[in-house]
Homo-oligomer: A and B are copies of this chain.
Amino acid sequence: MEKRFVYADNAATTPLSEIAFNAMKPWLTEHYGNPSSLYRMGREAKEAINEARKVVGKCLNAAMPVNEKNDYAPGEILFTGGGSQADNLAIRGFMHGPSSKGRKHIITSKIEHHAVLYTCEALEKEGYRVTYLNVDKEGHVDLEQLKNELSEDTALVSVMAANNEIGTIQPLKQISELAHSVGAKFHTDAVQAVGHMHIDVQEMGIDMLSLAGHKFRGPRGTGVLYVKNGIQLEPLVYGGGQERGLVSGTENTAGFIGLAAAMQDACEHLDEKMGYVKKLTDKLVKGIMENIPYSHYTGDPVNRLPGTASFVFEAIEGEGLILRLDNAGVCGSTGSACSTGSLDPSHVLMAIGLPHEIAHGSLRLTLGEQNTEEDVDYVIETVTDVVKTLRSMSPVWEN
């Protein structure tokens, strides 16, 4: 097969779409007014940002404001500098803010992104109590444990919508109902989910939701925190009062508009796009599992993000795998310890119970709408070859 370039790391970041770039361009070059300024060029920027807010709100089915002339309508959508900022604002801002009502307990899961986990750990140092829920082999949080841990002291439950390494989708509605049963609020890190699966914050009972533009072909350095009306947070960034005073700083107009354009495109064509991506991913998984012995699929094979295919291959190590795939033109990622310089493989792979020696051989391939059948054929062949080569060098591999 002829060498080609295949970007199969769409969970890390996605290429900015032409739609998003074109939406951004005039706001980068011509319309440079500061949205806080009184003159027309400033007011137009402010209006454009509020339009972007509405687009985002509509995709999430956020409650729209009654008064269309409202200054920051819809106030439920706060723009941030990325998914991590949204997660930090949601969790730290909520626990430090008045809406936590003095409750001191957070429940989250062992497979959250570090933006959630490390925020929780920092709060533990301040005296908050955090429960990290176990997950099963496929990465679903333990709902029984959640029920047992919930109490009148639980302020917040934060469980991600879909995992970034293995793609497993969590039962959001069930979790929010449990959280609400004790008066706790529910936050979900939907950074991987938005643009890839249906999300309805009202239907699912979501009180706060984080997303990031660059995971659905919008720009880097942009994110959103959806905050249900009535919830009050402590600011993440103090200053000029932008984003209801919670994320101050001159607005990244072009970025916010790019995010909204990409999100609209993703949401309006969700079924069609994700149907296509899922077909590709199914083919990829099938091909790899058939071709490569001693390989294991990780995550939930059914309830998973449409573009995520994740594996472990015995007797090899992931960093080398990625580097050799790169030489062959294929971009992927791994949860191997060696890839990060830490001694442990990814906390997600540990949490789903993989032994260290197997977790080292992990590979995540994440497809997007820009991938083709030919890409998939090429990736299957390339991964098969590279795994074979690395195994032939491995002292643990005995054929």
Chain A contacts to B: CB under 8 angstroms: 7, 9, 12-16, 21, 24, 28-29, 32-34, 36-42, 80-85, 87-88, 113-115, 118-119, 121-122, 212, 214, 219-223, 235-241, 248-255, 319, 322-323, 325-326, 331-334, 339
The 4 closest A-B pairs by CB, nearest first: A221-B252, A81-B81, A115-B239, A39-B326
- Inter-chain contact B82/A250, CB cutoff 8 Å: yes
Q: Which residues of chain B are within 8 angstroms of A221 by Cβ–Cβ distance?
A: 81, 221-222, 249-252, 255
Best-buried of A14, A214, A235 by chain B (most CB within 10 Å): A214
A323 to B40, CA, bound (A): 8
Once A16-B28, A83-B249, A331-B33 are accepted as A-B contacts, the answer to whether A239 and B39 lie under 8 Å apart by CB is: no
Best-buried of A34, A220, A241 by chain B (most CB within 10 Å): A220
Best-buried of A21, A85, A249 by chain B (most CB within 10 Å): A249
Q: Which residues of chain B are within 8 angstroms of A16 by Cβ–Cβ distance?
A: 28-29, 32
- Inter-chain contact B39/A331, CB cutoff 8 Å: yes
Once A238-B119, A238-B122 are accepted as A-B contacts, the answer to whether A249 and B38 lie under 8 Å apart by CB is: no
- Inter-chain contact B28/A81, CB cutoff 8 Å: no
| Contacts A/B (CB < 8 Å), 7 sampled | A7-B41, A38-B319, A114-B239, A115-B248, A119-B238, A122-B235, A221-B255
Once A214-B250, A220-B252 are accepted as A-B contacts, the answer to whether A34 and B9 lie under 8 Å apart by CB is: yes
- Inter-chain contact B37/A251, CB cutoff 8 Å: no
Of chain B, the residue at the smallest CB distance from A322 is B38
**The residue from B32, B36, B81 contacting A85, defined by CB atoms under 8 A apart:** B81
**The residue from B83, B255, B322, B334 contacting A220, defined by CB atoms under 8 A apart:** B255
- Inter-chain contact B12/A237, CB cutoff 8 Å: no
A38 to B251, CA, bound (A): 32
